[in-house]
Amino acid sequence: MFTGLNQPTNIEFAADGRVFVAEKGGRIKVFDDLADTTATVFADLSANVHNQHDRGLLGLTLHPQFPTQPYLYVLYAYDAPPGQTAPYWNDNCASVGGTNGGRCIVTGRLSRLTANGNSMTGTEQVFVSDWCQQYASHATGDLRFGADGMLYATAGDGASYDLVDYGHLGTPPNPCADPPGGTMTPPTAEGGALRSQDSRTTGDPTSLDGTVIRLDPSTGAAAPGNPSAASPDLNTRRIVAQGLRNPYRFTIRPGTSEVWTGDVGWSRWEEINRVVNPTAGVANFGWPCYEGTGRQSGYDGANLDMCETLYTGAGQTNPFYTYDHAATVVAGEACPTGSSSVSGAAFYPATGGSYPAEYSGALFFSDYSRDCIWAMLPSAPGGLPVATSRRTFGSAAANPVDLAVGPGGDLYYVDHAGSVRRIRYYPGNQPPVANIAATPTSGTAPLTVSFDGTGSSDADPADQGRLRYEWDFTNDGTVDSTAATATYTYPAGGPYTARLRVYDTLNASATATVPIQTGNSMPTAVIDTPADGFTWKVNDPISFTGHATDPDQGTLAGSALHWRMLLHHCYTLDNCHTHTLQDFTGTSGSMFGPDHEYPSYLELVLTATDSGGLSHTTSRRLDPKTVDLTFDTTPSGLQLVFGSGAQATPFTRTVIQGSSNTVSAVTPQTMAGTSYTFGTWSDGGAQSHVITAPTTGTRYTATYNPQAGSVRLPQSQWSVAGADSQETLLVNGRATNVRDGSSSSIWHTQRLLSNPAHPHWIDLDLGTTRAVNRLYYLPRQDSTAGRITGYEVYVSANRTTWGSPVATGTFPNSTAEQTVTIPPTNGRYIRLRALGEVSGNRWTSVAELNVGVVPTG
């Protein structure tokens, strides 16, 4: 339908027939109708938009009463760090190691624009500025209106897409200042991808990363009726769903405010998530603790409190549908597997559409990496889609990044390579497809061009081989030839347009055109450096030079040369999708080798365009330098996490030299009936840490300690040595209640406002020195009041010197007994230190405690 677009990302149809298309670089174009082939620039936000890698202008929607209400809404990566003003980076982060070095920080912005005809009037009205983005993907996402008239928006977690990221990455670490600030370490870390769970930590400001928000479209404030409307935090009020990695696209089920998101996965699963009722409660889809319906191995292995409490607490809201990167969506289909990224979603209307009735109410969804579109059909026309009722709808849909149902009830998709396409349904005879091959299409006059229309086709068997051809070589309405192939000699002048119309046996027709230029010849683009075979490692400078010559204009100026660096992100080396890293203009340029997982490679693309609009493109593949890293455990065979997945040792991974890679030693774990806890890494790293890949093959070994069994001490063998506070006037409040064997009596610290707040502690006396390896905690049963959240456990020989805690963590808000595993530690006294209470109250309540020790004899 539309071509010549520069990385289009989003399409919106207005009720008056106009069509709005967003381009990643920040321009919004408007076409008067579907027949208009020349767009008008409605607005140019490129000075504010950060356009590198996956960042850019990604979200666009129109007010439901447009143009009566003349508003467009945009969602984009803002070209500045928090507190700064765009343009700050000017789409070039070379000074800080590129977009994936963890230092090119940008934010997200949601704004309202006012239309005056086909152009923007006034200034951009900023509604929301948030969404700190440390890394180059998982940025701002999509915009839609619900049937409730409220504005919905999505955004990703802003974290690394290669590494386990809990806020410890970057130089300096944690540049987004995720609370509480500074370097994040397990188990208490809350940054990086854990921003997607931020509204669960009420003691610090909430970010909007990894969420669905519901807004008042007049102000950008939280919409009335939101589930957290009473929160003192303005962002918490806006959130209706959380726990999302990269909800790049979503759609609203017609006639409802159900939000259906496509969440791009990491190592294995793509998700379609359904928010059934945005005002009923905040749905938590579990990222980064979950991917698909299971625990995410990389984050599970890091032993993070934010995940552990989710595993033992409410868990996740399960996806409506997931598909495995290694499996087809529909059995036997032509769509590939491997590289995957769910990238579009649109519901077909229940009534009034042109497609067969079985599609009424169907959910269409697409995958950018697989170049495919599917339909999830309802159980009955207009009903709820059925996850198991899937159909391949388009198995060669190039680069689909947005889906929309438009005029005529047809499905439209945005091809990120530069076009908007329409899929039409013909209940009877299907028209042919016209195709022109022309050689040459430019040159010195007189120019003789050979035309071939035999590439035209028709899907109807009765029409195959029976097409009729009409050539109009100068597009003046005159039929010049009816042959399948022909030649024509063009005089000076022009440019000219050659038109081919093909007919089937029922006179259905289709048209194709090709431009012809005489007096102007195509230029030739040449990449001078780097040479073929050039390789790079992370942070290596990659400098390039080139030139272009034109038969008519000689050597073209640098302004005629456009460079684009592409990153091919691969599942296997022959199964890749692309990301645009950066654009350049001129005869030379440079960037740093990006930090990225392997397999992947770069492609340097040079396009030269002469003054007549003719262009020529050439490219060069730039492969990375790689190295093999081998991982093992002592004893061998235990599980280690590398990147996104856990695997039994030994194993080897190929990575790019200089790349960052996260590893975690899963602890505790059991093999052959023996329990093991992590001891040390051969490189001296922490249990979960980052490895910068060396230039030579290296072996990394995690040493584990076998764990002896544990026996629970009888209550007669230990006593309460003391507590910082207790309700002395009440029997049901004394510290000794933690060992009376009754779940209904409790230790309760004093509740007077004059008494201290957390932390609170209670000490147990084991009577003699023992090897302690367990603490058992039974929360208060009759009420949540007083239940412990964060905790520390200490062991001491004399109750005077306590040293560092032997265990830390967070208890879930549950009535179940909780077990704290402790590395075997010799001591007579054990202290439980309560750091907080589930509702923020000043007091602590505990029903029962007990201790486990290493058995003797």
pLDDT digits (tens, 9 = 90+) for 334-389: 999 999 999 999 999 998 889 999 999 999 999 999 999 999 999 988 899 999 99
Reply yes or no on whether the pLDDT at 90 is more than 80: yes
How far is 620 from 545, CA to CA, in rounded Å? Answer: 12
Interval 621-638 mean pLDDT: 98
How far is 463 from 506, CA to CA, in rounded Å? Answer: 9
Report how far Cα 440 is from the mean position of its chain's Cα atoms: 44
Q: What is the pLDDT of residue 171?
A: 85
Give φ, ψ of 560 to 5 degrees: -90, -5
Q: What is the pLDDT of residue 731?
A: 65
What are the beta bridge partners of residue 41? 29
First-to-final CA distance of the chain:
82
Interval 659-685 mean pLDDT: 91
Nearest of 197, 202, 212, 204 to residue 308 by alpha carbon: 197
With cut-offs at 50, 70 and 90, classify the pLDDT of residue 179: confident
Q: Which residue has the tokens 């992100």?
A: 569
pLDDT digits (tens, 9 = 90+) for 709-725: 788 999 999 999 999 98
Would you call 359 helix, strand, or coil by DSSP? helix
pLDDT digits (tens, 9 = 90+) for 503-539: 999 999 999 999 999 989 999 999 999 999 999 999 9
Interval 165-185 mean pLDDT: 88
Two structure tokens written together for 376 = 């999830």
Beta strands 283-284; 239-242: pairing state: parallel
Q: Which residue has the tokens 């949601």?
A: 110
3-state helix/strand/coil string of 757-806: CCCEEEEEEEEEEEEEEEEEEEECCCCCCCCECEEEEEEECCCCCCCCCC
Cβ atoms of 276 and 166 closer than 8 Å = no
Q: What is the pLDDT of residue 753?
A: 59
Reply yes or no on whether the pLDDT at 755 is more than 90: no
Interval 94-111 mean pLDDT: 91
Nearest of 733, 749, 822, 824 to residue 788 by alpha carbon: 749
Higher pLDDT, 670 or 230: 230
pLDDT digits (tens, 9 = 90+) for 239-277: 999 999 999 999 999 989 999 999 999 989 999 999 999
What are the beta bridge partners of residue 108? 77, 130
**CA–CA distances in Å: residue 595 to residues 40, 81, 271, 448, 460:** 38, 21, 26, 50, 50
Burial class (CB in 10 A: 0-12, 13-18, 19+), 504: buried
Q: What is the mean pLDDT of the chain?
A: 94
Reply yes or no on whether the pLDDT at 114 is more than 70: yes
Two structure tokens written together for 636 = 């061998």
Residues 6+ apart with CB under 8 A from 2: 19, 21, 31, 37, 39, 419, 420
The length of the chain in residues reads 857
Two structure tokens written together for 650 = 């030994």
Two structure tokens written together for 320 = 């409506």
Residues 6+ apart with CB under 8 A from 428: none
Q: What is the pLDDT of residue 673?
A: 75
Two structure tokens written together for 223 = 């919409």
Locate the DSSP E strands across 348-410: 363-367, 372-378, 385-394, 400-405
How far is 275 from 284, CA to CA, in rounded Å? Answer: 9
Reply yes or no on whether the pLDDT at 839 is more than 90: no
Reply yes or no on whether the pLDDT at 202 is more than 90: no
Cβ atoms of 480 and 488 closer than 8 Å = yes
Residues 6+ apart with CB under 8 A from 86: 47, 48, 49, 50, 78, 79, 80
What are the beta bridge partners of residue 831? 763, 794
Reply yes or no on whether the pLDDT at 595 is more than 90: yes
Beta strands 442-443; 509-518: pairing state: parallel
Point out the least confidently predicted range of 43-47, 178-182, 200-204, 340-344.
178-182
Q: What is the pLDDT of residue 306?
A: 92
Two structure tokens written together for 178 = 């995720």
Percent of the chain, pLDDT > 90? 84
CB half-sphere exposure, 650, CA atoms < 13 A: 11
Reply yes or no on whether the pLDDT at 732 is more than 90: no
The DSSP line for 288-340 is: TTEETTEE-HHHHTTT-HHHHHHHHTT-----SEEEETTS-SSTT-SS--SS-
Higher pLDDT, 50 or 255: 50
240: phi > 0 → left, psi -120 to 50 → alpha, else beta; which? Answer: alpha
Q: What is the pLDDT of residue 154?
A: 98
